């Protein structure tokens, strides 16, 4: 009796162990899923304001516990909240050392001043600048993340950041607010 139960338990252990082993091989997770999930929250501006050379390196640093969650100004407060939720840590306000959130803007090249040096093209993290050596450059506005990395290398300072204007296309309905109106003097008395 005793032996039988030992054999049964042993058999079960071997079978289940083998199953677990096979599952571990079959459903092996490539890379660190946590990094991908953090990266999905980051705004992909690739601006480097966090002190890392892009969003993915910052995500890796957060996952490794090397960086704090409040170093991404473009992600804003909502981004920090989302990261805090994901990682199960306490929310903390954005670290002002890494910059403050700004309204979304796109780079604009003053084409009359551009000398075609290609320095901005090399700096752009998302290849959103079009041009060639000694030819005028221009920004592909729909692909610009507004990271401002092209501003510093420009030798003639012909790049400026233009905030996105509100148009009927991107206009949003506002949160309902109720203006507080002072009641006429007599009605105030009546209610009092």
CB of 166 to another protein, least distance (A): 6
Task: Select from 26, 28, 103, 173 the one that contacts another protein (CB under 8 A).
Answer: 173
10 three-state secondary structure: helix
CA–CA distance, 57 with 78 (Å, rounded to integer): 20
From the list 4-12, 13-21, 27-35, 124-132, the region that binds another protein by CB under 8 A is 124-132
Reference 163, options 92, 88, 107; nearest CA is: 107
Stretch (H or E) spanning 57: helix 55-63
Pick 3 or 180: Cβ nearer another protein: 180
From the list 7-15, 22-30, 49-57, 94-102, the region that binds another protein by CB under 8 A is 49-57
Pick 27 or 171: Cβ nearer another protein: 171
Pick 88 or 155: Cβ nearer another protein: 155
Sign of CA dihedral 118, 120, 123, 125: negative
Binding flag, residue 113, another protein (CB under 8 A): yes
Q: Which residue has the tokens 């093209």?
A: 121
Window 27-46: residues binding another protein (CB under 8 A): 39, 42-46
Beta bridge partners of residue 109, listed in sequence order: 159
Reference 92, options 111, 112, 69; nearest CA is: 69
Q: Which residue has the tokens 């079960």?
A: 12
Q: Which residues bind another protein (CB under 8 A)?
A: 39, 42-46, 54-56, 112-113, 115, 125-128, 143, 145, 155-156, 166-168, 170-176, 178
């Amino acid at each position: 009796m005793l032996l039988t139960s030992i054999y049964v338990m042993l058999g079960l252990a071997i079978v289940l162990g083998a199953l677990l082993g096979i599952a571990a091989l079959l459903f092996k997770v490539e890379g660190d899923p946590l990094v991908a999930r953090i990266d999905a929250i980051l705004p992909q501006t690739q601006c480097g304001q966090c002190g890392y050379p892009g969003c993915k390196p910052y995500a890796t640093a957060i996952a490794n516990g090397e960086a704090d969650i409040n170093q991404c100004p473009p992600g804003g407060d909502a981004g920090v909240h989302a990261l805090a939720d994901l990682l199960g840590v306490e929310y903390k306000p954005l670290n002002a050392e890494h910059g403050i959130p700004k309204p979304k803007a796109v780079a604009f090249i003053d084409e009359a001043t551009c000398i075609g040096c290609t320095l901005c093209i090399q700096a752009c993290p998302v290849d959103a600048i079009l041009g060639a050596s000694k030819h005028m450059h221009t920004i592909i506005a729909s692909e610009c993340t507004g990271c401002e990395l092209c501003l510093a290398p420009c030798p003639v300072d012909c790049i400026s950041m233009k905030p996105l204007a509100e148009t009927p296309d991107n206009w949003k309905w506002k949160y309902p607010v109720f203006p507080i109106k002072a009641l006429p003097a007599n009605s105030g008395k009546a209610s009092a």
